[in-house]
Amino acid sequence: MSEPLLKVKQLSKSFGGVVATDKLDFDVMPGEIHAVIGPNGAGKTTFVAQIAGMLKSDSGSIVFDGKDIAGKSAPERSHLGLARSFQITSVFRDFTALENVALSIQAHDGHSFRFWKRASTDIELTGPAQKILDDVGLGDKALSLAGNLAHGQQRQLEIAMALATSPKMLLLDEPTAGMGTEESENMRQFLSNLKSDYSMLLIEHDMDTVFSLADRVTVLVYGRGIATGTPEEIRNNAEVRAAYLGEDE
For the chain, domains (ranges, CATH) are 1-81+167-249 (3.40.50.300), 93-166 (no CATH)
pTM over 0.75? The answer is: yes
What is the distance in angstroms between the CA of the first residue and the CA of the last residue of the chain?
Answer: 36
pLDDT at 86: 60
pLDDT at 248: 44
Count of H-run helices and E-run strands, the chain = 10, 10
* Residue 173 burial by Cβ neighbours in a 10 Å radius (0-12, 13-18, 19+): buried
Q: Are 179 and 185 spatial neighbours (Cβ–Cβ below 8 Å)?
A: no
Q: Are 64 and 6 spatial neighbours (Cβ–Cβ below 8 Å)?
A: yes
What are the E-state strand segments in the chain? 6-15, 18-28, 33-37, 59-64, 67-68, 82-85, 169-173, 199-203, 216-221, 224-229
pLDDT at 103: 87
**CA–CA gap between residue 103 and residue 115 (Å, rounded):** 9
Strand order in the sheet with 18-28: 18-28, 6-15, 59-64, 67-68
pLDDT 10s digits, 137-156:
899 999 999 999 998 899 88
pLDDT at 175: 87
Low-confidence ranges of the chain (pLDDT < 50): 87, 112-115, 248-249
**CA–CA gap between residue 39 and residue 222 (Å, rounded):** 9
pLDDT 10s digits, 78-87:
889 998 876 4
**CA–CA gap between residue 233 and residue 94 (Å, rounded):** 45
| Residue % of the chain over a pLDDT of 90 | 56
pLDDT at 3: 92
